[in-house]
Amino acid sequence: MIKPIVEIDGDEMARIVWHWVKERLIEPFVELKVEYYDLHIKIRDETNDRITIEAAEAIKRVGVGVKCATITPNAERVKEYGLKREWRSPNATIREILDGTIFRAPIVIRSVIPAVRFWKKPIVVARHAFGDIYSGTGIRFDDIGEAEIVYRSRLGREIRVKIGVFPGPGVLQAYYNLDRSIESFARAVFKYALMNNLDVWFAAKETISKVYDARFKEVFQEVFEGEFKEIFNEKGLKYEYYLIDDAYARAIRSEGGFVWAAKNYDGDVLSDMIAAAYSGSLAMMTSELLSPEAHYMSEAAHGTVQRHYYRYLKGEKTSTNPTAIIFAWSRALKRRGELDGSSELIEFAHTLEEAVKKTIEVDRVVTQDIAKVMEGQPSLVATTEEFIESIRKNLEHLYYHRLRGL
Ligand code: NAP
Ligand code: MG
């Protein structure tokens, strides 16, 4: 039996494109069972954001979700939509409830040549989105002085370490992480790699950070040896730990095709760098969230594409790239198919991705953002709807051929 996919609707241009993709590229081809959650900013406001929590709980229940980009409100948005308050980022809420890790990968297209000419396959960046400097604390001091760190356990036991004696003004920072969070991260990374048949790299700087980074390295090694080593061996996959500077140098010389697990800050920087080096467009990236229990959600890496939406509202045609939204759907369908043993869904997901690639690589029909980065001339810089129509034609052709076994 095929279970539903949790469909999480969003805002602005991403929402418009979302519905075009669903109506034109998915519903005509597969019987789609969804559990629908509308995270439109007004509905989050009306429900005091309960809808976001319900959507995340639904993913826990059925295992697979697909999410459209949503507005994370700031003061401006509160005014624009007359909101009660600046609701949290839905992505942060969902990630927290699922305890998930985000995997970002470029969608590799032959006519869009990466900045690094050796790269043939995607480098998937897994970012540990917990702790470190993102929940760190800083002090700026303006005098001669000294500092120490004190840890006090609930039982009152204390650990005290001197940070340093300072001859004058300066800054200092403290931050932390939790074993449990690092373990979840490692587990999600190894699971994702198994699902996608990829090697895993983890990189840090334990030669310098002898307690902090060393603990990350240790936890990764423990989780790997305890839970994944055997199956990795069986599948011929590898886990490698590298010093982070070594990893950067190796990555540049590699042909890609691995998961790079990175600490929070490293992953923040690395994912933008990898995105820019492959195509420079967030619309040419996949973004998948996987929890340690293997709950799964895919989404587009970009936002709601606000500027295009305002043009759309004025009746103008935009050239918004739907590729990341299409891949969000194809990956969710594939995952559903794998979990429920539906080769039809898996096959369709694969064919849908192929239809997108054929449209760009062979037909050279592209949206304006791809036109800027592709090799050679496009045959058409299309509006969003024209682009989707070209994909639909390719999809029909590929899919019905396949169905008839041709
Ligand atoms: P954005 O929606 O990613 O768009 C930034 C710019 O990138 C666009 O103006 C456009 O450039 C280009 N772009 C992004 N996606 C594109 C696509 N599919 N096709 C073509 N071009 C694309 O980021 P933003 O404008 O900074 O944020 C808008 C809203 O999205 C915010 O309210 C933010 O909270 C939200 N957001 C949500 C998520 C999420 O839900 N995952 C993530 C990020 C941001 P040009 O205008 O130059 O064509
Ligand atoms: Mg970043």
Ligand 1 atom 7 nearest Cα: 305
Q: Residue ranges of the domains in the chain? A: 137-174
Contact by Cβ (8 Å): 322, 20: yes
Quote the tokens at residue 145.
């002085």
**CA 363 to centroid of ligand 1, rounded, Å:** 26
Ligand 1 neighbour 297 (Cβ under 6 A): no
pLDDT digits (tens, 9 = 90+) for 65-107: 999 999 999 999 999 999 999 999 999 899 889 988 999 999 9
pLDDT digits (tens, 9 = 90+) for 241-251: 999 999 999 99
Q: What is the mean pLDDT of residues 152-164?
A: 95
Ligand 1 neighbour 91 (Cβ under 6 A): yes
> Of all residues in the chain, what percent carry a pLDDT higher than 70?
99
Q: What is the mean pLDDT of residues 276-304?
A: 91
Q: In what order do the strands lie in the sheet with 285-290?
A: 34-38, 5-9, 64-67, 296-300, 285-290, 101-106, 123-127, 258-262, 199-204, 239-243
**CA 102 to centroid of ligand 2, rounded, Å:** 13
**What's the rounded Cα separation, in Å, for the pair 241 and 221?**
9
pLDDT above 80: residue 304: yes
Nearest ligand, CA of residue 275?
2
Q: What is the mean pLDDT of residues 310-327?
A: 97
Ligand 1 neighbour 93 (Cβ under 6 A): no
406: pLDDT confidence band, cut at 50, 70 and 90? Answer: low
CA atoms within 13 A on the CB side of 211: 5
Contact by Cβ (8 Å): 365, 390: yes
**CA 314 to centroid of ligand 1, rounded, Å:** 18
Nearest ligand, CA of residue 282?
1
Quote the tokens at residue 345.
């869904």
> Of all residues in the chain, what percent carry a pLDDT higher than 90?
86
Ligand 1 neighbour 372 (Cβ under 6 A): no
Ligand 1 neighbour 319 (Cβ under 6 A): no
Ligand 1 neighbour 303 (Cβ under 6 A): yes
The predicted pLDDT at position 405 comes to 65
Ligand 1 neighbour 40 (Cβ under 6 A): no
Nearest ligand, CA of residue 276?
2
The predicted pLDDT at position 281 comes to 84
Round the average pLDDT of the chain to a whole number and report it.
Answer: 94
Ligand 1 neighbour 15 (Cβ under 6 A): no
pLDDT above 90: residue 24: yes
Ligand 1 neighbour 71 (Cβ under 6 A): yes
Ligand 1 atom 31 nearest Cα: 71
Ligand 1 atom 8 nearest Cα: 305
Ligand 1 neighbour 72 (Cβ under 6 A): yes
Q: What is the mean pLDDT of residues 119-132?
A: 92
Bridge partners (DSSP) of residue 397 are: none
**What's the rounded Cα separation, in Å, for the pair 194 and 123?**
15
- Give the list of residues 6+ apart from residue 71 with CB closer than 8 angstroms, or none: 10, 11, 12, 41, 77, 81, 304
**CA 260 to centroid of ligand 2, rounded, Å:** 15
Quote the tokens at residue 57.
């709980």
Which of ligand 1's atoms lies nearest the C-alpha of 368? 20
**CA 307 to centroid of ligand 1, rounded, Å:** 8
pLDDT above 80: residue 302: yes
Contact by Cβ (8 Å): 8, 325: no
Ligand 1 neighbour 67 (Cβ under 6 A): no
Higher confidence at residue 1 or residue 375?
375
Q: What is the mean pLDDT of residues 229-245?
A: 97
Quote the tokens at residue 230.
């055997």
Ligand 1 atom 26 nearest Cα: 303
**CA 84 to centroid of ligand 1, rounded, Å:** 24
- Ligand 1 mutation target, pool 77, 127, 302, 356, most atoms within 8 A of CB: 302
- Ligand 1 mutation target, pool 304, 317, 360, most atoms within 8 A of CB: 304
Q: Which of 35-39, 81-85, 291-295 has the lowest mean pLDDT?
A: 291-295
